[in-house]
Structure 1
Amino acid sequence: MKICLLLDKNSNNTILLAGIISIIIGVGIARFSFTSLLPLMLNDILTVKFAGFLASVNYIGYLSGAIFAIFIKDIYTKIKFFRIGLLLSIISTIILGLTRNEFLWILSRLTAGFGTAMILVVCSSIVMVKLNAEDKTKIMGIYFSGIGIAITTTHLFLRYINMNENLWQVSWLILTIVAIICSVYPLYILSVENKIDIQAIKHKIDKKIFTPFIIVLTIAYFCEGIGFVVQATFLPDIIDKVKGLEGYGNLAWLFVGIAGIPSSIIWMKLAFKYGSVNMIITALFIQIIGILIPTLTNNIFLNVFSGFLYGMTFIGLTALFMNLSGKLSDKNPVVLMGILLHR
């Protein structure tokens, strides 16, 4: 009976579970595993300069994918590109385990970024379409908690694999196998029957939603996204480079994931009580404090806490902006959500 419930394509629980598993593949494995393994790769073959370049390429791939996702109108096309995103996440992961060729690594991070966008942005719109609820944006807070779950689970998994040896290349191959196995469930659940009316689930772009406030909001989120890329890639290495904190970077990154799991739900509840804009400003201010801590002190607890503050805010901000976009765009939250999630 329980197995049958897990295979119900129309259950909100299974839809959210499939969405979170997808995030683990596209965000946890294809994106943030790079952060967890970066200190090991820097000690072996990578330079900080090339690592930064790879992070920038990954962001370009994500940005182009998120912008592309805005113009995908019908649900069947969304599902097709969501599946492409899963495939790209798997391919980009195995490349890092099979070769040390710099050109292939650049291509890998570029495709990983695009694949992440297809999963995080396109998958989120599929989940929204399939959910059976009046206020879907509130439930989506649970979906975005998958980012924290993805960071925590993949990081702990990689720490276990590399406990006694530097097996970063083997880690990428193991992650590929895990991604392939995990992709089966969302491929099955996040699909629709042919009897669904395509016109009923198309999302047209209404130019009226592009108000001055939306434009300012998009620019603000874009700038936050640039800061997010640097911190999300180099946080463990930044803390490891602080005098007296060598080896504590991984612990700080673990707390990023732990803090991120409940953050979107907590911030959504606070937004309901105090207003989305107020909470966005508050979260951005807290994030600034978290990012500055490693530059101001070498205290172990404060630096680990900086990771906690970062995880609590960057994932929460994703949910807050998504929730606000749902309110501002009224009947068409998916298009505006894609615009705001372009970071």
Structure 2
Amino acid sequence: MSTARLPAEWRYLLAGAAGTAITMGVGRFAYTPLLPLMQHDHGLDAVAGSWLAASHFGGYLAGALLAALWLPARRRAAAFIGGLVASVLSSAGMGLSETFTSWMLLRFVSGLGAAAAMVLGGALVLERLPATQRAFGSGLLYGGMALGIVGSTLAINGLAAGGWHAPAIWLACAAACTPLLWCARPLLEAPPSSVAEARTALEARPLHLGWLLLAYACAGYGYSTSATFLPLIVRGLGVGPQISAWVWLLVGLAALPASFAWGWIAARCGSRRALDFAYLVQAAGVGLPLLLPNATGALLSGALFGASFIAVVALALAIAREAEPTRASRVIGLMTSAYGLTQILGPLVSARLIGPHDNFSWPLVLASASLLLGFALLRLAYRRPPLRLLTESA
């Protein structure tokens, strides 16, 4: 598909959306519905699945730190494209390799690609847009992730129903992502000078960035259990294989309109109030299987989780950018690093708590409580005097 005739803003938005679809919608989130199939085909248990998830989150953390602290600005676009290519190749590698060690390495590489899309792609897109278009732009940018979740889940469930095994499905996912690489090329262009100059004139909104980092770290822990194990959690409720197989599709379907709905909410209520509400909705979605251990609870959990987890990321990063408007890449990298660190802990702690019968009660309690703690920490981020974590030379 050619994008040359589209307005520049749309080409940038589609490039960023393609990046999140490749690296997050497929590269990251195809693993969640594929994990039960990998258990069947390769004999993986939930503990092994936790380590593979943690390896991906470790790559995500390393990539975020690299982008935030060591990557020169002139190389951001090339690193973004490189991350997309790495994500596609790592998905293909999951289908071509058969050892746990190689899977650990490939999931780490996939995490590096995801960090490139989230840290670099978001900054590259939004800095090219006028300020009035950034709320809508964030919705479309992260909507690419939701579309990737929907597409990959439909493909995985359909191919699995047709008798395909996990290795072949991984290869199919990589093949489906390859054409999207072409759509990401516009971000190699330099931003228009008028937009770049306008970006430096934005006024910072006072915020205690340290407390926001801690609150965002809590969100990372709260997100990771459901993001890794939701089909397994639902299967443990005894609600039937159809619901457990398709609940992840509901996550993507809920996330798709939510990417834009939360922008609308933020425009009317303010980004900070919208973020508060998103934390509470996600906490409810994560903990709901404990309160309603049935099909209704499973479906509502998927819907609430899907409707909120992208919003927490998008709104928190937007608020951080408002606090440090001239150092967007650096602050997004720090935020993503905090989120990535606790993402690693989530599946590893869950693996120690689920026991031999894959009981996720305590992991869900801790994940939901972590989100509620993050909501409480946001109160401190908003009300305390601002703390400058980034120097003027950053």
What TM-score comes out, normalization by structure 1 length?
0.88
Shift in Å, 1:250: 2.5
User: Residues 101-180 of structure 1: matches in 2 within 5 Å?
Assistant: 101-180=99-178
Q: Which moved more, 1:107-116 or 1:223-232?
A: 223-232
Give 1:244's aligned residue: 239
- Compute the displacement of 1:132 (Å): 4.3
1:32 counterpart letter in structure 2 = F
Distance 2:25 2:273 in 1: 29
5+ residue gaps, structure 2: 340-394
Distance in 2 of aligned mates of 1:224 and 1:300: 26
- Pairwise mapping of residues 169-248 of structure 1 onto structure 2 (< 5 A)? 169-186=167-184, 188-193=185-190, 213-248=208-243
Among the aligned pairs, what percent are the same residue?
Answer: 26
Distance 1:213 1:132, change over 3 A: closer
1:87 maps to a residue whose letter is: V
Cα distance change on mapping 1:196 and 1:277 into 2, 3 Å: closer
Asked if 2 retains the 8 angstrom alpha-carbon contact of 1:161 and 1:171, the reply is yes
Matched, 1:256 2:254: no
Query: Which among 17, 33, 38 is matched to residue 36 of structure 1?
Result: 33
Residues 193-215 of structure 1, C-alpha deviation per residue, up to 9 Å, x if partnerless? 5x978xx68x99xxxx8987211
Distance verdict in 2 for CA 1:336–1:40, change over 3 Å: same
Structure 1 unmatched ranges of 5 or more = none
Query: Does structure 1 conserve the Cα–Cα contact (< 8 Å) formed by 2:291 and 2:297?
Result: no
Residue identity matched to 2:147:
I
CA contact (8 A) 2:41 2:166 kept: no
The residue aligned with 1:288 is 283
After TM superposition, the runs of 4+ consecutive aligned structure 1 residues lying more than 6 A away are: 209-212
1:92 aligns to 2:90 (yes or no): yes
Equivalenced residues, count: 331
Pick closer, same or farther for the CA change 1:72–1:137 going to 2, 3 Å: farther
State the 1:164 CA deviation. Answer: 2.6
Task: Tell me by how many angstroms 1:299 deviates.
Answer: 2.5
Match of 2:347? none
The CA deviation at 1:116 is: 0.7
Deviation per CA, 1:96-143: give whole Å up to 9, x if none: 101111111000011110111011211111112333454524522221
- Provide the aligned C-alpha RMSD in A: 2.5
Q: After the TM superposition, which of the residue ranges 40-49 and 242-251 deviates more from structure 2?
A: 242-251
Equivalent of 1:18 in 15, 26, 33: 15
User: Which of 79, 82, 99 pairs up with 1:81?
Assistant: 79
Matched, 1:276 2:271: yes
Of 220-229 and 296-305, deviating more is 296-305
CA contact (8 A) 1:66 1:339 kept: yes
Q: CA deviation at 1:335?
A: 2.6
